Amino acid sequence: NTLKKWHVANWTFTSASLGPKISFVKRFINTYLNADGSRFTDISGYETMEFPDEVKNRDKRLSQTIRLGSYKRSDGTPAPPDFLYTFTGYHILKFTTDDKSLDGIQGNFNSIPRMRYAEVLLNYAEAKAELGSFTTDDWDKTIGLLRKRAGITDISMPTSIDTYLQLNFFNDINSIPILEVRRERGIELAGEGFRYDDLKRWKMGELLEKEYDGMYVSEMNKLMDLNEDGKPDVMFVEQMPSSPVPGVVYVVVDNAAIKLSEGNKGKIIWRANIERDYSDKKYYAPIPYNELILNKNLVQNEGWDHP
């Protein structure tokens, strides 16, 4: 603190003034396992579960990554997902502090890891899986350890393909170890700046073209109590009410910037009006112009030539 080596997690995730309102999508949140090690997406009706139910009895890393209904600030104030700061309802809290005084300033002095032993284990597991030599012993030394630490009770290696992962993320992968390593890497390192490089390494930039989906909303104009404390937190409406309920955030569904997947209900779809394209050239960064001038033997990467 005295050296002022601070970071900005609270400002990034708990302040509307920063702007981006970085949020996770439902498609990713669905990949977190249940606390007993079973797949959340194997539960009948998981697609239409509202937030208070979908986040119960899950991998403990979920509560360490986003605000659940039980989350409170340091003064004891309940703090469910706040739609002033999140677009999808999956409000990131990883690396933030519970201290409200740090919201909106560049003043986080809680520690951020420079190197994670979990990343070392995941790197080893991925290498073995990609080589096709991943064993149950490798599982026990890597993914199994991470899941045990996260409080998952059944940490045994799965014996069947997770079709949800396959259909929604990795269509061409038929290897259980590769699928599970990629699930674990996403969950363990969520919000730590690894995902983009991972997607480029796996040549999965197409995932960046998918829709930004959020929590399920069962109906419009319904007061939703996200933390089940008896007080409403959010309502999805066609227009702002003339007499708003104190403490409620009203989200205007304009069917452009934001809509619901089934019209008057469904998953939140954020920025459905934006076309997304991840062309192959983006797997390689352009060579800086100055470097091309200095070294005439360099050739610009394909797709980045100047017109």
Count Cβ atoms below 10 Å from residue 66 Cβ, excluding itself. 25
The angle formed by the CA atoms of residues 275, 277 and 282, to the nearest 5 degrees, is 150
Residue 1 has pLDDT above 70, yes or no: no
Q: In angstroms, rounded to a whole number, what is the distance separating the alpha carbons of residues 80 and 68?
A: 6
What is the band of 119 on the pLDDT scale with cuts at 50, 70, 90? Answer: very high
Q: What value does the mean pLDDT take over residues 281-307?
A: 91
Q: Is the pLDDT of residue 306 over 70?
A: no
Mean pLDDT over 6-11 rounds to 90
pLDDT of 271 strictly over 80: yes
User: Residue 300 pLDDT > 90, yes or no?
Assistant: yes
Q: What percent of the chain has pLDDT over 70?
A: 98
> Would you state the pLDDT for residue 104?
84
Cα 80 to the chain's mean position, in Å?
Answer: 17
Stated pTM of the model: 0.94
